[in-house]
Amino acid sequence: MENILSIVSLIIAALGFALAMFVAVRQKRNDRLTFLADRIFDSSIPRELRQPFYEEYISMKGNGTAVKFWLLEGEREKKALQPN
């Protein structure tokens, strides 16, 4: 009976550890995406210097408002550079 209890508790501990690692990895990814999005939205940094942050954001499968902002900002810059 003690062997069964020790095996069950060992399995539960292993599953708990695996779950904790999954949550820590997911949180690290979310933190990195948040950092990158903050840099993308920071218009005080020149656009060409924000480009690497945008590229990493995309490579990490980031999407949403940061990508939309980047694209709209690019369109506005193109329109501003076009002669009327």
How confident is the model at residue 84, as a pLDDT? 66
Distance (Å, rounded) from C-alpha 23 to C-alpha 70?
Answer: 29
How confident is the model at residue 19, as a pLDDT? 92
- The half-sphere exposure of 73 on its side-chain side, counting CA atoms within 13 A, is 18
Tell me the pLDDT of the chain (84 aa) as tens digits. 788 999 999 999 999 999 999 988 999 999 999 999 999 999 999 999 999 999 999 999 998 899 999 999 999 999 988 876
Q: Where are the domains of the chain?
A: 23-81
Asked whether the beta carbons of 33 and 53 are under 8 A apart, the reply is no
Distance (Å, rounded) from C-alpha 30 to C-alpha 24?
Answer: 10
